[in-house]
């Protein structure tokens, strides 16, 4: 494994907090990006699961951005020297919905920094915990895996194949990840990571064959597919990004009921499993 040459233990336990008044504008913009925009929100509406990602945005000034467009490392995030950052996965528990138009706070803690050796090379994982609070309620517990990867060979563009037939009882959606969708998602999350909108950078500097689909976009589209079919609220959601998706060809989202929950998957145009996820719904009281 390449040695990133530093001990990052001093970063473990670091905390940061961000306040937000959960205004309506971001929810309406998200509804237009993720669906047909017909969903109505007013003050006091429950924020759909995962839509908290459109709030608590990073307020780093322009001068504080690194070359990749993320806040420079060595501030809150450890100064890991591997250049290629990816959102690798997350695990969430929804205790009670965040309500629009009411002040809320996100408290972020770095829980771990761990070096691993993967099939694609050396990986440095940062495990973040986010607690989302409104009044005296803990509304959402979330763990995120952020990975930093050493430089590596350029990835080829995927070869398009036919997807396998859907399992019985599954539902699916095909998504065309064009630059307009990626731009809107970057804007919703105030994420300046250049792999999502700057094609020469994504190809020339990070070795991808096209613009990279945000992991959180795939994760939220998967959960939207489920949310639009069920009435019970989502209680748990976890996902792992296994292979990147690009703006080069459509990908398929599949949602299949399974024991006690739902299995969700994003299948790349080449048939690879790009994201695997699982959701559990809350029991209704009474």
Enumerate binding residues for ligand LRN75BOA (CB under 6 A): 85-89, 116, 118-120, 123, 145, 147, 149, 191, 193, 212, 214-216, 240-244
- Cα separation of 54 and 40, whole Å? 16
Q: In the complex with ligand LRN75BOA, which residue's Cβ is closer, 167 or 204? A: 204
To the nearest whole angstrom, how small is the minimum distance from the Cβ of residue 280 to ligand LRN75BOA?
A: 19
To the nearest whole angstrom, how small is the minimum distance from the Cβ of residue 257 to ligand LRN75BOA?
A: 24
Cα Rg, the chain, nearest whole Å: 19
Backbone angles phi, psi at 183, to 5 degrees: -60, -45
Q: In the complex with ligand LRN75BOA, which residue's Cβ is closer, 100 or 221? A: 221
To the nearest whole angstrom, how small is the minimum distance from the Cβ of residue 81 to ligand LRN75BOA?
A: 16
Q: In the complex with ligand LRN75BOA, which residue's Cβ is closer, 137 or 183? A: 183
To the nearest whole angstrom, how small is the minimum distance from the Cβ of residue 240 to ligand LRN75BOA?
A: 4
- Cα separation of 108 and 131, whole Å? 7
The position carrying tokens 């979330």 is: 142
To the nearest whole angstrom, how small is the minimum distance from the Cβ of residue 1 to ligand LRN75BOA?
A: 11
What six digits make up the tokens of 28?
Answer: 């309406």
What six digits make up the tokens of 80?
Answer: 């890991």
Within its chain, how far is the Cα of 2 from the centroid? 27
To the nearest whole angstrom, how small is the minimum distance from the Cβ of residue 67 to ligand LRN75BOA?
A: 14
Q: In the complex with ligand LRN75BOA, which residue's Cβ is closer, 173 or 240? A: 240
Q: In the complex with ligand LRN75BOA, which residue's Cβ is closer, 100 or 192? A: 192
Please give the biggest Cα pair distance in the chain: 57
Contact by Cβ (8 Å): 98, 63: no
Q: In the complex with ligand LRN75BOA, which residue's Cβ is closer, 20 or 68? A: 68
To the nearest whole angstrom, how small is the minimum distance from the Cβ of residue 128 to ligand LRN75BOA?
A: 10
- Cα separation of 252 and 273, whole Å? 10
Beta bridge partner(s), residue 191: none
- Cα separation of 54 and 210, whole Å? 24
Within its chain, how far is the Cα of 67 from the centroid? 21
Q: In the complex with ligand LRN75BOA, which residue's Cβ is closer, 197 or 262? A: 197
Q: Using CB atoms, what's the residue nearest to ligand LRN75BOA?
A: 118
Q: What are the angstrom distances between the C-alpha of 240 and each of 184, 212, 243?
A: 23, 16, 9
């Amino acid at each position: 494994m390449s040695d990133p040459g530093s001990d990052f233990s001093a970063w473990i336990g670091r905390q940061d907090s961000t306040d937000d008044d959960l205004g309506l504008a971001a929810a309406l913009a998200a509804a237009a990006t993720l669906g047909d925009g017909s969903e109505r929100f007013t003050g006091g509406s429950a924020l759909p699961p995962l839509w908290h990602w459109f709030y608590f945005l990073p307020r780093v000034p322009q001068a504080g951005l690194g070359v990749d467009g993320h806040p420079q490392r060595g501030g809150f995030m450890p100064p890991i020297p591997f250049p290629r950052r990816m959102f690798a996965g997350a695990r969430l528990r929804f205790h009670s919905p965040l309500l629009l138009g009411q002040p809320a706070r996100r408290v972020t803690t770095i829980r771990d920094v761990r070096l691993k050796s993967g099939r694609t090379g050396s990986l440095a994982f940062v495990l973040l915990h986010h607690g989302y609070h409104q009044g005296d309620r803990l509304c959402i517990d979330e763990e995120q895996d952020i990975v930093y990867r050493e430089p590596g060979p350029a990835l080829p563009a995927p070869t398009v194949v036919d997807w396998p037939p859907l399992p019985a009882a599954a539902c699916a959606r095909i998504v065309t990840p064009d630059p307009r969708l990626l731009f809107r998602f970057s804007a919703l999350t105030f994420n300046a990571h250049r792999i999502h909108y700057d094609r020469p950078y994504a190809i020339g500097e990070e070795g991808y064959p096209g613009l990279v689909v945000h992991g959180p976009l795939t994760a939220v589209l998967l959960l939207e597919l489920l949310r639009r079919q069920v009435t019970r609220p989502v209680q748990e959601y976890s996902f792992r990004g296994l292979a990147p998706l690009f703006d080069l060809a459509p990908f398929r989202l599949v949602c299949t009921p399974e024991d006690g929950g739902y299995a969700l998957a994003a299948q790349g145009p080449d048939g690879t499993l790009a994201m695997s996820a699982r959701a559990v719904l809350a029991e209704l009281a009474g």
